[in-house]
Every structure is written in structure tokens, then in C-alpha cells.
Amino acid sequence: MSAAARLSRLRTYDLRFPTSRELDGSDAMNVDPDYSAAYVIISADDGGPEGHGFAFTIGRGNDVLISGIQAYQELVIGLSVEETLADMGGLWRRLVHDSQLRWLGPEKGVIHMAAGAIVNALWDMKAKRAGKPLWRLLAELSPQEIVDLVDFRYLTDVLTPRAALELLEERFEGRERRVGTLLQEGYPAYTTGPGWLGYDDEKLVAKCHEAVSAGFELIKLKVGADLEDDRRRLRLAREAVGEHIALAVDANQRWDVAEAVAWIEALAPFDPHWIEEPTSPDDVLGHAAIRARVSPVAIATGEHAANRVVFKQLLQQEAIDYLQLDATRVAGINENIAILLLAARFDVPVCPHAGGVGLCEQVQHLSMFDYIAVSGAREGRVIEYVDHLHEHFVDPVEIVRGAYKAPSVPGGSAQLREDCFPRFAFPDGSAWSQAHAEPTLTK
Amino acid sequence: MSAAARLSRLRTYDLRFPTSRELDGSDAMNVDPDYSAAYVIISADDGGPEGHGFAFTIGRGNDVLISGIQAYQELVIGLSVEETLADMGGLWRRLVHDSQLRWLGPEKGVIHMAAGAIVNALWDMKAKRAGKPLWRLLAELSPQEIVDLVDFRYLTDVLTPRAALELLEERFEGRERRVGTLLQEGYPAYTTGPGWLGYDDEKLVAKCHEAVSAGFELIKLKVGADLEDDRRRLRLAREAVGEHIALAVDANQRWDVAEAVAWIEALAPFDPHWIEEPTSPDDVLGHAAIRARVSPVAIATGEHAANRVVFKQLLQQEAIDYLQLDATRVAGINENIAILLLAARFDVPVCPHAGGVGLCEQVQHLSMFDYIAVSGAREGRVIEYVDHLHEHFVDPVEIVRGAYKAPSVPGGSAQLREDCFPRFAFPDGSAWSQAHAEPTLTK
């Protein structure tokens, strides 16, 4: 690229998939999601590869996130492409700590997710320009380069830059071997496909059988709306999958502390692999109290944890057994690297949240990078998988025998196919304006 | 009002005051704020009083909040005026737990502040229709009516509806006496006017003298950018105000834990009344660690605490000596009542954040209600005051000998004067389009 090249254009798209028509994705809190992307494409004036990124939402309010992304436009347009892509840590600080925009968080909710969409779009641009899939680009960074991506503000009481550097240097040896293993075996996945709360028993059982046939060793069910329903569905699922397949359950923030403890105790006989989001994602102390009282049942959370400071506390307080980061909840790749480092520091396995639209595509890069350069391990770790909306991506995930195959296409895999834009633009795309003529758009 | 009356119109206004030109409001993190209001007016089709509310921001991104407010429009328009105003607790749940919009938080940042603007606008409408200032409307509610306003989800491990009811019933007696005291003496204020970081030493000293003459007994200084500057400014302020005036300091989230402890120890000889926002507003454990290590120096925080669940934990963890709620950060009056109840349960005094634009006007109602019906006390409690932008309000605060005078005009005091709309609309208002012709708009 030319040294004078500038980031010259930022385009946003409010894209929504009418998933609520089939109750795919329904759970105790999210009863009618229309999976959506507040989508951004960033271009440079040198005609080189563009960057694609987005934040995931579930319908109403996707336009608010679009407005958030646009608020960063003036901070991004005109920046040197070369300097920006060479200092992604500096870019992150510039966006997240903007002296006026930070008031809208700070570092949480719409404005933080919007920063993440932009950060991820620029990582996509960087990986495409390097001709590498994002996981490989990240995995080839030196320990010091990785440390430079992270903002350690508010983390130094548990993790200093020096301690992070030492951790990364310790795991430097063996990277090549792990790349080889990853290319050969992929990264383990689990599936949430069978367990949506809107599915009837027959569909639940059929999908459990499918999941086992496809090679998954962990299946997740949504719970929390009605205890007797939960027990019946867990019994049916257990009968369908046999003894050797693990079953996790997800309450999607449904309970208060005492209610969580009672409900989990009632589900404990079904040997859940973990209980996910038992209560408010902000309630670090609540999670810790629940975990202490239901031990040895494992607690998982993270898809709604607002930022690295919340994750820091979940780890400090020994509130979780599994950390479930999300690709588009926090401010993008840089903050997720901070979260991977925190998890490694506390030796807690990271099992990312995915599903939605494009979350599988994005989050796989983080887990693969984690395996190669940060935790150095895959044991006890799985990436969520839902067989849903992948057909719309230029580089969709590939699942082989229950494992994510490492992407080989340059970029971060967030790019949607051209035909999505006229179909799923909200409210004028054909999927919305011709809703009655075209009742079932999702598989 | 007619039983058939409906909420029929929701208008939004992006209003910004060019305060950065004078460095009023500057601190270690917010170096150039343009005080702004994401403003909403809700009307009914019966021609009765409208409701005015807003969320406060500091400039860029005010439009994102406007977008957030508009996202709730479809949930509000068409509702029965009578039913809505009679069940403000139900309204709150309907907005905050909307199954799609909650994904953008949940309960934090832009979407939560937007819900708060709407909730507060409807409280303004309700108080105007009742012909009462908001503090009085609230203070005349029965204990059960107050409990019904609060969503206890995620709070019941420390405060159940029954415990809240008992607390309110205990303080029921004496309400009339406290109303009398309030009308006679007002509610104590402190001032941040002298202490902005952008002011030079001469202005600091002059404004300290002014504050003492005006009857304030507590003055707050911004700190955290440079330790030697902080020490010099605290020494100058102490010389200016004498021994009997208290000095608080505000670090605006500037420090990590270890840095906070060291900096606070260096400032301790100046006997600070409290240290405000020493670190990330999300870091409950960090605040607790700092407080434990700098004891007996007092710790205050809350203006950026995202919701009642964060406040619950700050109290559970004994992380704060003073709780500083904000009128427009959480989801409005209802959630602030939950926070007042939590503070009373833990016997921690509430000293609200104010300043900005219209925060003094709004928050005074909460403290007065707290005094009459919840905590039953004013001891150790003060409301922040900054002499700034009040001239733009229809019912501006009145400070008499260092105390807020109880408002007598019906409503919640958030309503801006008509002439503000053409002047401060962004970006087309005269204050912005004629910036060079009119250099100093703020006092």
C-alpha cells in the first residue's frame, strides 16, 4: 500500500434476518429474536481490500448501534492506513477513550459494541491485506506485539503488561506444533441447535439425534422458563443422546441468586456440564454466591459481560468455571485478547459464545489464536456452534466431525455475501417488504 | 383526563451547549465537554400537560442517545395515559425488559439511559397532571405504592419487596415533620464550581472565596492528572477556605488500584472529605480494595454506575462511604428509587451527582424524596451543585445559603425554555452555526 493511503469511507448497513418467524434462537429471556447485524465496511483510498465488521443484535435497536458506529466516523476517516493497521492498540485507545463518546458507556453497551465493530472491521482489513486468515495473523505476532494490542488500564491489580509478556513468552515454544494440530484436527465445537425453548419435544429429540450423528460431544439446552418443562426436556435429551454425550444448560439471566440455587439443585441430577448465565451478567458477587452454593456444578457466563473489567472481577471472585467471551459484545479483537490473557492468568478455560448471525465465523479466530499463543490448550474448551445463517457468509465456518476447521481465506470471516444487502436491509429489503410472499427465509 | 386518552407523540431534540469553549466542566478524563441533552417531549391526545425528560451527555454521541430514545417510540405511543401513569412500575419493566432492545445493554449504556429519559418524561407528565412538584408527588405515595415502582429482579439477595416495605413503613411516621423542615431549610448542597481542572490557580482561589461567601460548607476539586498540581491546588484551596470548610476530591476514574492507593495516600494530609471515582465505575472489587487500603479516607462513587445491580454490589462489598446516584445514567426515577432503598438498607448516605445541564434540577427531587420517605435523614448528605446553565430551565434550581430550596412548580424540573431549542439544536442551532459571531454562550 502507498504510505499516503488514508481510510476514506465508512458505510453502515442495518441488516436483519427474520428468524423470529421460526423461533430459532428463542430462550427464556429472548423470546422472539430477529438476528441482526449493525454492519460496517471501511474503505481506503488506495483501492486495497476493505474491512468488514459488525455488532450482533436481535432486532429492534439495531439502528441504535448503527448510529453508534457512525458516531466514530469522524475519528476514523482520514487516518493513515499504514499507521493505523501497524498500531491497532493505539487505534483501540483512541476510539474507546474518546473524551466525549466515553460518557455513553463508559466501555459498555451500544457505544462499546460500536467501537468493537469498527475495531474488528479494521482487523479484517489488516488480515486481508496481509493475505492471511485472522487467527494466523494474530498467532504470528510476537509476545510483545500482542501485549501492545492490549489496554491494561484497570487490569494491573491482577495482570500487568510484564506478567502478560512472561505468560506469552512461556507459551511461545510449541506454537508451530499447535498450528499443525489445529490444521489437522480443527477446534472442538458444541451445539445449541437442538435446545431452543421454542422447539417442541419432538423437534428437540430429533435434533439431539442429529447432533450426536454429526459428532458433537456436548449439547446445550435452554432452561429457566418452567422447571417441570426443563426437567422433562433434559430427560428426553438424555434419553436421546445416551450417557457419553454431555448436556449443558443455559438460563439466559433468568434467576435471582436464591432462585438460581434452588433451580440448579433441581437440575443437578441430570448432570449438567455447566449452568450458563444463571443471573444478571453484571452480578459478579451473585455468580460467585451461586457457584459456591451449587458446587460441584459448574457455572459459565460472559456473552453479556460488558467489558474486560467485569471479566477481571468474575475471575478474581472465582465466580465462573468457564469464560464465554463474545466476538461483538466487547470492543473487538483487542479487548478479547485482554480477556484471553486474563483467563489464562487464572487458568479458566474460554468457551466462546456464538450462534446468532456471524458469531461462529468471528469467534473461531479468537479460540484458535488462544490455543496457539495464549492458553496453549484445547482441553476443556469448546466453541458454541449453531447451524444457522452461515450460508450468507463469503467464508462460512466449516464443521467437520464436531470441530471447527481452521479458516484459510484471508480476513476475519465477517463478510456477508453481496446478495444479503438487498434482501436483509431493514426495513426496505425484500425479506421484510415481501414478508408475506416469502414466509420462510431461514433454514 | 379522558379515560380513552393515549400517548400520541414522542419528539426528540439533540441539544448541545458549547461549554468546551470555557473549559467549564473539565476534569482528568473529560477534557473538553460540551454539555448536552438527548431531550424528549411526550404528548397525549387529550391536550393535557406534556412530559419532558432527557439524558445528559457531554457532546459527541448525543445523537446516538436520541436514536436510543426513538427506538422506544413504538413501545410508548398508543398506550393509555391513565393506565400508564397509574402503573409506572409496569411501564418501567415493559421498557427495560423489552425482549429485543435489552440485548443492547442489558440495562446499561445508551439503551438504558434512553429508557431513563422516557421514564423521567412520563414522571414529569404525571407530576404536572397532579399539579405537584415531583418530590412531593413521590413523597405522598404509600409505602406499598413505592415498592410497586421498583423492579426487585437481581436485588432479592439483599433486599426483598417485603423488606423494602418494612423499611418504608418504619419511616412513614415523621414524613410531615420532614416536609416542614425541608420547606423551611432546604436540602444541603456542595459546590464543584471552583475546582475544574481547566481553571488556573487564580480562578480556583477566587471561586473558592465566592463559594464560602455563598454559604457552601463542602467544595470539590478535580484531581488525578498530575500529583504535584493536585497538591498545590489543594493547598491553595485550603488556604482560601480555612479549616472549617470541607474539601472533597474527584479523580474521574483516572487510576488503577495501586496507583489510586498511592495517590490517595499522597493527598490524605489535605484531609479530603471523600475521594470520588478513584477507578473504573465497573470495578466493584477495585473500589473495595482501595477503600480497605486507604481507610479512614472515604470513598465515593456512582455517577457512572450502570444500574441497580452495580450499586447493590458496591454496597454488599462495602466499597463506598457515599453513594452518588445520577438522574440520567440509570433508567430514571424508578431505578433511582431502587438505589435509594438499597442505600437505606445498607445505611450509606446518598450524595447525588449533579452539574452538567439540568442534573441539579432533576436530582434534587430524588434527595428530597429520600429525606422524607426513604432514609428519613439529611445528616452527612449533600447534593452536588454547579452554577451553570440553570438560566435555560423553566423551573431552575434555587440555592439559598448553600441549600437547595424545595421546588414548588409542578413537574420534574427538566423542562428547558422555548428559546433553547432554536439556539442549542445541534448542529443547526444559532449557537453552533453562528459560533464565531457569539463566542461566549456560557456564563
CA distance B115 to B40: 11
Decide if A266 is inside a domain.
Answer: yes
Interface mutation vs chain B, best among A17, A27, A110, A254, most B CBs within 10 Å: A110
Same domain assignment for residues B386 and B426: no
Interface mutation vs chain B, best among A99, A118, A353, most B CBs within 10 Å: A99
How high is the pLDDT of residue A442? Answer: 40
How high is the pLDDT of residue B2? Answer: 66
Q: Is residue B314 a contact partner of residue A285, using CB atoms and an 8 Å limit?
A: no
Contact A157 B60 (CB under 8 A): no
Across the interface, which of A98, A113, A256 has its CB nearest the CB of B60? A98
Q: Tens digits of per-residue pLDDT, A255-279?
A: 999 999 999 999 999 999 999 999 9
**Contacts B306 to A, Cβ<8 Å:** 108-109, 282, 306
CA distance A138 to A413: 14
To the nearest whole percent, how much of chain B has pLDDT over 90?
92
Same domain assignment for residues B275 and B329: yes
**Contacts B106 to A, Cβ<8 Å:** 253, 280-281, 304
How high is the pLDDT of residue A443? Answer: 34
How high is the pLDDT of residue A292? Answer: 98
**Contacts A222 to B, Cβ<8 Å:** none
How high is the pLDDT of residue A439? Answer: 45
Across the interface, which of B64, B310, B316 has its CB nearest the CB of A282? B310
Contact B61 A258 (CB under 8 A): no
Phi, psi of A422 (to 5 degrees): -70, -25
Reported pTM: 0.96
- AA identity, residue B214: A
Positive/negative CA dihedral, B395, B401, B402, B403: negative
How high is the pLDDT of residue B32? Answer: 84
Q: Tens digits of per-residue pLDDT, B86-111?
A: 999 999 999 999 999 999 999 999 99
Phi, psi of B399 (to 5 degrees): -110, 125
Same domain assignment for residues B110 and B182: no
Decide if A100 is inside a domain.
Answer: no
**Contacts A280 to B, Cβ<8 Å:** 106-107, 153-154, 309
Across the interface, which of B112, B156, B256 has its CB nearest the CB of A156? B256
Same domain assignment for residues B64 and B124: yes
Mean pLDDT of B38-51: 98
As for the ipTM of the complex, it is 0.96
Q: Tens digits of per-residue pLDDT, B409-420?
A: 999 999 999 999
Across the interface, which of B71, B155, B282 has its CB nearest the CB of A309? B282
Contact A111 B61 (CB under 8 A): yes
Across the interface, which of A34, A71, A110 has its CB nearest the CB of B109? A110
CA distance A160 to chain B (A): 11
- List active site positions of B: 222, 353
Contact B65 A104 (CB under 8 A): yes
CA distance A413 to A361: 6
Q: Is residue A167 a contact partner of residue A341, using CB atoms and an 8 Å limit?
A: yes
Averaged pLDDT of chain A: 95
Under the phi-then-psi rule, with left for phi > 0, alpha for psi from -120 to 50, and beta for the rest, what region is B356? left
Same domain assignment for residues B127 and B179: no
Residue in chain A nearest B36 by alpha carbon: A100
Decide if B139 is inside a domain.
Answer: no
Q: Tens digits of per-residue pLDDT, A324-365?
A: 999 999 999 999 999 999 999 999 999 999 999 999 999 999
CA distance A283 to chain B (A): 6
Domain of residue B293: give its range. Answer: 175-404
Contact B68 A60 (CB under 8 A): no
Decide if A6 is inside a domain.
Answer: no
Mean pLDDT of B326-335: 98
Contact A157 B112 (CB under 8 A): no
| Distant-in-sequence contacts of B176-182, Cβ < 8 A, 24+ apart | B178/B371, B178/B372, B178/B376, B179/B136, B179/B139, B179/B372, B182/B368, B182/B371, B182/B372, B182/B406
**Contacts B280 to A, Cβ<8 Å:** 106-107, 153-154, 309
Total beta-carbon pairs less than 8 A apart between chain A and chain B: 199
Confidence bin at B443 (pLDDT 50/70/90): very low
Contact B283 A63 (CB under 8 A): no
Is residue B437 predicted with pLDDT exceeding 80? Answer: no
Q: Tens digits of per-residue pLDDT, B388-412?
A: 899 999 999 999 999 999 999 999 9
Same domain assignment for residues B124 and B205: no
CA distance A42 to A74: 13
CA proximity to B178, closest of B413, B401, B370: B370
Contact A309 B280 (CB under 8 A): yes
Confidence bin at B260 (pLDDT 50/70/90): very high
Residue in chain A nearest B278 by alpha carbon: A154
Same domain assignment for residues B118 and B184: no
Same domain assignment for residues B380 and B424: no
Contact A64 B104 (CB under 8 A): yes
Q: Tens digits of per-residue pLDDT, B206-224?
A: 999 999 999 999 999 999 9
| Alpha helices per DSSP H over A242-283 | 257-267
Decide if B413 is inside a domain.
Answer: no
What is the domain-level CATH number for residue B333? 3.20.20.120
How high is the pLDDT of residue A131? Answer: 98
Is residue A164 predicted with pLDDT exceeding 50? Answer: yes
CA distance A177 to A170: 15
Contact A157 B306 (CB under 8 A): no
How high is the pLDDT of residue A31? Answer: 72
**Contacts A159 to B, Cβ<8 Å:** none
Contact A71 B57 (CB under 8 A): no
Mean pLDDT of B24-36: 79
Decide if A230 is inside a domain.
Answer: yes
Positive/negative CA dihedral, A229, A232, A238, A239: negative
What is the domain-level CATH number for residue B101? 3.30.390.10
CA distance A330 to A305: 8
Burial class (CB in 10 A: 0-12, 13-18, 19+), A198: middle
Same domain assignment for residues B256 and B337: yes
CA distance B225 to chain A (A): 14
Contact B104 A316 (CB under 8 A): no
Q: Is residue A254 a contact partner of residue A229, using CB atoms and an 8 Å limit?
A: no
**Contacts A150 to B, Cβ<8 Å:** none
Same domain assignment for residues B325 and B208: yes
Interface mutation vs chain A, best among B104, B290, B326, most A CBs within 10 Å: B104
- List active site positions of A: 222, 353
CA distance B287 to A285: 14
How high is the pLDDT of residue B1? Answer: 53
Across the interface, which of A63, A101, A112 has its CB nearest the CB of B67? A63
Mean pLDDT of B271-281: 98
How high is the pLDDT of residue B435? Answer: 59
**Contacts A109 to B, Cβ<8 Å:** 104-105, 108-112, 306
Q: Rg of the Cα trace of chain A?
A: 21
- Distances B345 to A51, A279, A437, B302, B363 between C-alpha atoms, Å: 51, 22, 57, 17, 20
- Distances A383 to A55, A171, A324, A366 between C-alpha atoms, Å: 19, 21, 9, 10
**Contacts B257 to A, Cβ<8 Å:** 156-157
CA distance A110 to chain B (A): 6
**CB-CB neighbours of A258 under 10 Å:** 14
To the nearest whole percent, how much of chain A has pLDDT over 90?
92
How high is the pLDDT of residue B3? Answer: 73
Contact A67 B63 (CB under 8 A): yes
Mean pLDDT of A96-120: 97
Burial class (CB in 10 A: 0-12, 13-18, 19+), B416: buried
Decide if B400 is inside a domain.
Answer: yes
CA distance B402 to chain A (A): 29
Confidence bin at B434 (pLDDT 50/70/90): confident
Contact B157 A304 (CB under 8 A): no
Contact A108 B31 (CB under 8 A): no
Averaged pLDDT of chain B: 95
Q: Please, what's the b/e burial string for B330-347 (b: 16 or more CB within 10 A of its CB; e: otherwise)?
A: bbbbbbbbbbbbbbbbbe
Please state the domain count of chain B. 2
Q: B429 CB contacts (<8 Å, ≥6 apart)?
A: B15, B421, B422, B423
CA distance B110 to chain A (A): 6
How high is the pLDDT of residue B348? Answer: 98
Is residue B81 predicted with pLDDT exceeding 60? Answer: yes
CA distance B118 to B12: 10
| A17-21, A108-112, A115-119: least confident range | A17-21
Contact A258 B157 (CB under 8 A): yes
CA distance A188 to chain B (A): 27
Residue in chain B nearest A34 by alpha carbon: B100
Same domain assignment for residues B83 and B220: no
Across the interface, which of B58, B67, B157 has its CB nearest the CB of A67? B67
Decide if A308 is inside a domain.
Answer: yes
**Contacts B160 to A, Cβ<8 Å:** none
